[in-house]
Amino acid sequence: MGMPCEYVSWARFYALAARLATRIRAGGYSPQVLIGVGRGGYLPARLLSDFLDVMDLTTFKIEHYRGSRKEPLARVRYPLSADLSGKRVLLVDDVNDSGDTFAVALGHLRERGAPKELRSAVLHHKITSTYVPDYYGQQVVKWRWITYPWALAEDLDVLLGRMSPRPKDLDAIRRRIIDDHGMHIPRPVLRQTLAAAAWLTAG
């Protein structure tokens, strides 16, 4: 089997975000500003802003790249414009994989004024990471790649690109993804995603 992967449905995402919000409240933290790390933190931060009733929501983007080649080197792509001086801030991302993103992100935020308090939250925290966030919805003990619904087409593009020969129809694609990666994607979801990405016209 290739790289182990797990698909997170929209319903599962909602449940994880709700659990995360509950844990933040239980921890006694009341952020004034939520910051979603782009791109993965956009949707978790938006949902947390709803659950926690925090309307002050903003973002900046971090990319992992060196030149045109992606590598595990995190850099700020679009800096944060907000002044965080004296604010209670919550930094939000979808997954804490290696810790590199948080190392760069937290350093960047501290350059945008001195926050009164700065904490972090993720949906999934992998114990292999060098960084431990303040809050997480689920701890991942056995490493696997997490595919969120907003990144399904992107991740499928990578997985299918590694298959040779590349399966042609919906059911063949679904079987290969299960056999190679142990990832179960509901057939209607897979069909809609492949069609929307123009990889499949029928199925």
**CATH number 3.40.50.2020 given to 8-146:** yes
Q: Quick one: what percent of the chain has pLDDT higher than 70?
A: 94
- Tokens representing residue 22 in the block: 């509950």
Residue 70 above 70 pLDDT?
no
Query: What integer is the mean pLDDT of 78-103?
Result: 93
Q: Are 16 and 136 in contact (CB under 8 A)?
A: no
- pTM attached to this predicted model: 0.91
Q: What is the pLDDT of residues 6-56, one digit of tens each?
A: 999 999 999 999 999 999 999 999 999 999 999 999 999 999 999 999 999
Residue ranges of the domains in the chain? Answer: 8-146, 148-196
The residues, any chain, with a CB within 8 Å of residue 121's CB and separated by 6 or more, are 20, 24, 44, 48, 90, 91, 92, 93, 133, 134, 135, 136
Nearest Cα neighbor of 28 from 136, 135, 102 is: 135
Distance (Å) of CA 10 to CA 44, 139, 141, 172, 189: 11, 18, 22, 24, 11
